[in-house]
Chain A
Amino acid sequence: MFVFIVFYFLKKDKKEKVRGVIALKKNVFALVSSIAVLGTALAGCGGGQQAAPAPANNTSSEQPAATPEAEKKPQVLKLNLHSEPPTADPGLSEDTTSAAIIRATFDGLTRIGADGKPHEAAAEKVEVSEDMLTYKFTIRDAKWSNGDPVTAHDFEFAWKRALDPKTGANYAYQLYYIKNGEKANKNEAKLDDVGVKALDDKTLEVKLENPTPFFLELTAFPTYFPVNKKVLESNEKWAGEAKTHVGNGPFKMESWEHKSKLVLVKNENYWDKDAVKLDRIEFSMVEDENTELSMFENGELDWAGAPMSALPTDAIPALKDQGKITTQPIAGTYWYKFNVEKPPFDNVKIRKAFAYSINRQALIDNILQTGQLPATGAVPPSMVLNANGYFKDNDLETAKKLLEEGMKEKGLTKLPPITLSYNTSEAHKKIAEAIQDQWKKNLGVEVKLENKEWKVYLEDMHEGNFQIGRMGWLGDFNDPINFLELYKDKYGGNNDTRWENPKFKELLNQSALEADPEKRKKILADAEQILMDEMPIMPIYFYTNSWVQKENVKGVVIGGLGDVDWKWAYVE
């Protein structure tokens, strides 16, 4: 068919031959000049990017002394969600994109405020028993976005549903703190035995396995959010479309064009709607970070970078020079894991020598460049147990001594070949190369690098098929147990190192039973001390979030875990 169109085109040309030839010639000229343009583009692109003006940052400082109400800006945020949220169902959510949308459209019993602490939200009153094992929540008079009342039954239903093995909720283990939660999920107890019960429409009683000092933080986590029983039972796919999505949060979904656009509008049924100043949040879903930054610089977005996306690494130095970047630490640790069953890392002194001998600060200043913090402990700053760290960064002398002693203990004169593994990614590669170089310079050790595709890598790590391997961990809630628990059991799902220590285990068990927060903190600090004395992992840095934003966007709350809440956001 196309061919015939071509014929037609050429035939038509014949009739208007003269004009046609001129047109052809013009055409060619146009083509040639476009090559010239392309050439200049090629030549000019290097410097061009930095010199690009940023018309976006129009810090309109026109304040004619009027009251703020007088010049009311449209309360609309334009954000990029990076990718399609896999789900908008709190029970099934397991990723940051979904969690952000769910936090905006739902309200848990508690909600983390700007101060980083949980505050009453869907519950208006919380009573905790003496032994910290029973919680009684009084549910506030509130409505779902479809007008149904929010009741204690909705919470009971939601939690039991997430624990039901048939639901297949990945994050069901977040509910294991509830009495019989774990057993119910393993089919060892009935769902009816789970320690959550709606005494009436307004009262929710929760019984816990152990005193859990961070339980009110957990109730602000999506897995603990309510779902509307009626809606879910009438339509299994309620959370997949804007039309059928029902929440009880500050915003409700107006439209959701999958993979393209999602619009949230203020929920007039929200109990705290007076605190919500935004009328609309428009999300685009652009996955390319360079495009996102261009859109921001062009004024099409109010925000670019973390927590929903990331800034392109190449653009970071320039943005930093212009002072546009905001950086905030989040509760995550980037570490290398040693396989303690494979020589030479079956020797603690050799493990320590490797961990002490790298210069974390230099790595951060030269390679990472976004203000990460050097990690000399496993637990990140927001939940820190020992603010001074457990060892000195870049401690070459001790490292050399330890390596010598360790090799003597093992009767080695030469270290066996060592391989450092990481998953294929430019960022991890840069870090691995820098550390490889430091080990070579500081310890005189040759280390080989090996990269693998992400899922292959994970499988190898979980199976102990590595010597040194890269991993990172982000906390789910703001408590050190998140990070210490990983190394409790030798074959625990996320330990990978095959390291186990009876004292460490014992301390963690103790901490679960301890109701006094101060004593508990001390126990956990002792545990972390053991972890750092044994060094099955080598902490490298604590993660940070970096982003650029329009200066008139205020009130966006980004928690210590990198979770984002737009409830209190507004445009000035």
Chain B
Amino acid sequence: MLIRYLGKRIFFMLISLFLIVTATFFIMKAVPGGPFTSEKNVPEEIKAALEAKYKLDLPLHEQYFEYLKGVITWDLGPSFTEKSSTVNEMISRGFPVSAHLGAQALLLAIFGGIILGVIAALKHNKWQDYSAMVIAVLGLSVPGFILASFYQYFFAIQWGLLPIAKWEGFEYTILPSLALSASPMAFIARLTRSNMIEVLGQDYIKTAKAKGLHTFTITVKHAIRNALLPVITYLGPLIANILTGAFVIERIFGVPGLGREFVLSITNRDYTVIMGTTVFYSIILVVMILIVDIAYTLIDPRIKLADAGRE
């Protein structure tokens, strides 16, 4: 049954990817300006030669089919701005860096967030709760670039503990990971807290207490599991987001990740890079959502995969 379910899901994933590619392609082409629009307008013939070289002189639908072919064979074409690289190379260079940074930030965010949230819920309306939530509010409301500058200022410039920027070893990854994890950690903490509070007030928890179970067992065995479901839902998009890079943090810390391409390619009208990063991100996103759906069943046995449920 799982196989049938997966097959169906993957089929729908492909359809959504196709729709994303199509929509991005045509919207992108509809935006005024192109990769060769520049402050120093080059003579017409040079522009024409460039367009011929990159096949921008073909009718739009032919460009579109060319591109679809490219996506299927995973040949995303050359970058317009970075003449020495192809989009495939840009992704394979940038993604490992972004993913490394993202994974560290994720671990921090998940552990930190859940622990903060659980503490806050268990000590509801006590000082522990308030402190945890002040941290969460700060994490959510202080923008990443300000946090990043603070970290740089104190940890690197004032105390000289860690390097300011660049990407040359583990010590270089600490500050950006911290900065990147702040907002998701805060979000997870608040999500966990509110769900925990709700769960802790339910009858079955009271029953467990009446049975004489220890608070700790109740929390771990009965409460957290149920409280974490919304967190898992949030994790899908979060993982896709955080692994593919964060423009601001990467820029401030000089991290050679993928995050900048998402933003700068649009400014540059670097068509192939816009498409490449979008497709790549979409793939990760749909896969993560699938994994999250499967993960539900592991956490909560009551949830069944759609097809299996019919039996």
CA separation between A341 and B190, bound complex, in Å? Answer: 60
CB-CB under 8 A for A2 and B110, given A41-B154, A185-B46, A291-B152: yes
Residue interface mask B207-235, A partner, CB < 8 A = 1 = 00000000011011000110010001001
Whole-angstrom distance between the alpha carbons of A430 and B165 in the complex? 30
Tell me if B166 and A6 are in contact (CB < 8 A): no
Contact for A87 among B83, B154, B156, CB less than 8 A: B83
In the complex, the answer to whether A295 meets B131 with C-beta atoms within 8 Å is no
Q: Determine the distance from Cα of A240 to Cα of B85 in the docked complex, in whole angstroms.
A: 7
Contacts of A493 in B (CB 8 A): 41-44
Pick the residue among A14, A257, A288 that contacts B256 (CB under 8 A): A257
Contact status A3-B299, CB under 8 Å: yes
Question: Is the pair B83, A89 in contact by a Cβ cutoff of 8 Å?
Answer: yes
Q: Is the CB of B41 within 8 A of A462?
A: yes
Question: B167 on the interface (CB 8 Å rule)?
Answer: yes
Contact B150 A41 (CB under 8 A): yes
* Residues on A with beta carbons closer than 8 Å to the beta carbon of B111: 2, 5-6, 9
**Which residues 14-33 in A have Cβ within 8 Å of B in the complex?**
14, 17, 24, 27-28, 31-32
Q: A3-B228, A3-B299, A258-B85 are in contact. Are A186 and B45 (CB under 8 A)?
A: yes
Enumerate chain B residues within 8 angstroms of A6, measured Cβ to Cβ. Answer: 110-111, 114-115, 224
List residues 237-290 of chain B with CB under 8 A from any CB of chain A: 251-254, 256, 260, 267, 269
The answer on a CB contact under 8 Å between A84 and B44 is: no
Is A166 interfacial (CB 8 A cutoff)? yes
What's the Cα separation between A270 and B235 when bound, in Å? 56
Chain B residues bordering chain A, tally (CB within 8 A): 74
The contact of A260 among B36, B128, B135, B256, by CB within 8 Å, is: B256
In the complex, are the beta carbons of A17 and B216 less than 8 A apart? yes
Q: Is the CB of A35 within 8 A of B254?
A: no
Interface-side segment among A279-287, A371-379, A514-522: A279-287
Q: What are the interface flags for A230-270 relative to B under an 8 Å C-beta threshold, 1 for contact and 0 otherwise?
A: 00000001011000000000000000011111000000000
Pick from B46, B156, B216, B256: contact of A173, CB below 8 A. Answer: B46
For residue A44, which residue of chain B has the nearest CB? B153
Q: How far apart sit A17 and B220, CA to CA, in the bound complex (Å)?
A: 14
Write out the residue numbers on chain B whose beta carbons fall within 8 Å of the beta carbon of A89.
83-84
Among the stretches A152-160, A397-405, A409-417, A451-459, the one at the interface with B is A451-459
Instruction: Please give me the residue from chain A that is nearest to B116 by CB atom.
Output: A31
**What are the residues of chain B within 8 A of A317 when measuring CB–CB?**
none
* Bound complex: CA A378 to CA B17 (Å): 52
Among A35, A88, A294, chain B packs the most CB atoms within 10 A around the CB of A294
Q: Which residues of B contact A460 (CB under 8 A)?
A: 32
Residue of B nearest to A188 (CB): B45
Complex contact A31–B164 (CB within 8 A): no
Interface string of B15-52 (1 = CB under 8 A from A): 00000000000000001111011111111111011101
Question: Would you call A455 and B119 a contact (CB within 8 A)?
Answer: no
Whether, in the assembled complex, A300 has its beta carbon less than 8 Å from a beta carbon of chain B, the answer is yes
CA distance A517 to B256 in the complex (A): 49
Interface residues of B in 150-180 (CB under 8 A from A): 150, 152-154, 156-157, 163-168
A173 to B46, CA, bound (A): 8
Contact of B37 among A32, A171, A240, A459 (CB under 8 A): A459
| Complex contact A31–B138 (CB within 8 A) | no
A240 touching B135 by the CB < 8 A rule? Answer: no
Are A455 and B256 in contact, CB atoms less than 8 angstroms apart? no
User: Secondary structure at chain A's binding surface: helix, strand, loop or mixed?
Assistant: helix
Number of A residues contacting the other chain (C-beta, 8 Å)? 75
A166 to chain B, nearest CB (A): 7
Cβ of A392: which chain B residues have Cβ within 8 Å of it? none
Of A11, A35, A240, A456, the contact of B84 (CB 8 Å cutoff): A240
Query: In whole Å, how far is B268's beta carbon from the nearest beta carbon of chain A?
Result: 8
Q: Which of B36, B166, B216, B219 contacts A286 (CB 8 A)?
A: B166
Over the window 69-99 of chain A, the binary record of Cβ atoms lying under 8 Å from chain B Cβ atoms (1 yes, 0 no) is 0000000000000001011110010000000
> Cβ of B88 < 8 Å from any Cβ of A?
no
In the assembly, what is the distance between CA of A490 and CA of B217, in Å? 82
Shortest distance between the CB of A473 and any CB in chain B (Å): 8
- The answer to whether B131 and A455 touch across the interface, beta carbons within 8 angstroms, is no
- Tell me if B81 counts as interface (CB < 8 A to partner A): yes
With contacts A260-B256, A454-B267, A455-B33 known, is A31 near B135, CB below 8 A?
A: yes
B61 within 8 A of A: no
| A166 to B45 alpha-carbon distance, docked (Å) | 11
B220 contacts which of A5, A7, A48, A494 (Cβ < 8 Å)? A7
**In the complex, what distance in Å separates the CA atom of A300 from the CA atom of B154?**
16
| B166→A259 contact, CB < 8 A | no
Q: Within 8 Å of chain B (Cβ to Cβ): is A65?
A: no
**B216 A86 Cβ-Cβ under 8 A:** no
Residues of A within 8 A of B93 (CB): 258-259
Q: B110-143 interface mask toward A, CB cutoff 8 Å, 1 = contact, 0 = none? A: 1100111001000000001001101100100010
Q: Judging by beta carbons under 8 Å apart, are A287 and B251 in contact?
A: yes
Which 9 residue pairs across A and B have the least CB separation, nearest first? A455-B33, A493-B41, A286-B254, A240-B84, A259-B256, A168-B53, A260-B256, A165-B49, A87-B83
| Known pairs A186-B45, A284-B166 / 19 extra A-B pairs, C-beta < 8 Å | A2-B110, A3-B232, A9-B111, A10-B224, A28-B119, A35-B135, A45-B150, A48-B153, A172-B46, A257-B256, A291-B152, A291-B252, A294-B153, A453-B267, A456-B31, A459-B33, A462-B41, A493-B44, A494-B41
